[in-house]
Amino acid sequence: MTETIIKVQKLNKSFGSKQVLHDISFTGQQGHVIGLVGANGAGKTTLMKTILGLTSAQGQITIDGQPSSFNHHEILKEVGALIEYPSIYPFMSGRDHLKLFAKEPQRPQKIQNAIAELHLAKYVDRPAKSYSLGMKQKLGIAMAILNNPKLVILDEPMNGLDPQSNKDLRLLIKAKSQTGTTFLISSHILSELQKIADDLLVLDQGRIIQKTTMQDLLAASDHYLVLSTSNDNLARQILIKAGYQLVSSSELKLRISPNTSLEPIIKMFDHQKISILDIQHLDEGLEDSVLKLLASDQKELEGQK
């Protein structure tokens, strides 16, 4: 049975009269990558800060079986984090930052591992004031994973990273999760998050509107078939008459179920001497699925007013 590393129960947070988190509850299992998504202002960063004991809130937070709160957070020694922007001292080198945060045992080895894992060697001994945004981001991530924590919380970790660095980070997160590290990651780059997240929390206006796995969300999303034929106009008429749902006026794009068979379409086209020149299967991605959920939630909230 997989161990629960983080458990959040009925978390509520207000700033003055404005409530920003509403009854947030979820669990995270050992070795899982949990994606946290939502529009700007949905409460993602506030939720992460609350889990890290950086701000107080009502509710219960348990990390690796131990309670954690604003006033009692010893367990946070087992947590690594990068929230918003890394805290970088401009006149210290990257290596000195790592020395400052590294814990015994095997302190020198931990530093070398972090440098290698984030590909920092070329500039790690230079003052951080000379670093680009991407360099600072990678140093911040290195500090988050440095001590092999059980839980790593990353807020927009892909900010400022080039495509190769994005790929390197994805591979690192997957490798760490496979050895038991749990990740809670907020990102607006949903195409990247789709490639690494096991579980998904969709936040809207401080409420979790969807808790699911990435696999289940994508399986429930829309699937399309795009056809190119020797006579698209006639093919369109045939498909509409047969009851297929076309979603584009400029191409033969059909909304289908995952188990739709092509055989009936091929037979109809053959009967009319229409040749199929190209077939593409398109699946709705995480971005489209999340935007639909947020739009649906917005309509529901407006209907309650």
Per-residue pLDDT in tens (0 to 9) along the chain, 305 residues: 569 999 999 999 999 999 999 999 999 999 999 999 998 888 999 999 999 999 999 999 999 999 998 888 788 889 999 998 788 999 999 999 999 999 988 999 999 999 999 999 999 999 999 999 999 999 999 999 999 999 999 999 998 899 999 999 999 999 999 999 999 999 988 888 989 999 999 999 999 999 999 888 877 777 888 999 999 999 999 999 999 989 888 899 988 877 788 899 999 999 999 999 998 887 777 777 787 787 777 766 666 65
- Residue 45 and residue 171 in one domain: yes
Look at the chain and report how many structural domains it folds into: 2
- Residue 195 and residue 250 in one domain: no
**Distance between CA atoms of 61 and 98, rounded to whole angstroms?**
28
- Residue 119 and residue 256 in one domain: no
- Residue 246 and residue 167 in one domain: no
- Residue 154 and residue 39 in one domain: yes
Distance of CA 163 to the CA centre of its chain: 17
- Residue 32 and residue 170 in one domain: yes
pTM (2 decimals)? 0.82
59 falls within a domain: yes
**Distance between CA atoms of 211 and 119, rounded to whole angstroms?**
34
304 falls within a domain: no
Q: Please name the residue that has the structure tokens 């990102």.
A: 187
- Residue where one domain finishes, among candidates 193, 218, 243: 218
- Residue 55 and residue 180 in one domain: yes
- Residue where one domain finishes, among candidates 168, 196, 218: 218
Sign of CA dihedral 12, 83, 79, 199: positive
288 falls within a domain: no
- Residue 142 and residue 251 in one domain: no
- Residue where one domain finishes, among candidates 218, 241, 274: 218
**Distance between CA atoms of 151 and 81, rounded to whole angstroms?**
8
- Residue 105 and residue 202 in one domain: yes
Q: Which domain, by its residues, includes 267? A: 222-283
Domain harbouring 94, CATH code: 3.40.50.300
- Residue 202 and residue 257 in one domain: no
- Residue 169 and residue 271 in one domain: no
Which residues, including other chains, have CB under 8 Å from residue 179's CB and lie 6 or more apart? 31
Domain harbouring 255, CATH code: 3.30.70
- Residue 169 and residue 33 in one domain: yes
**Distance between CA atoms of 203 and 209, rounded to whole angstroms?**
6
**Distance between CA atoms of 293 and 288, rounded to whole angstroms?**
9
294 falls within a domain: no
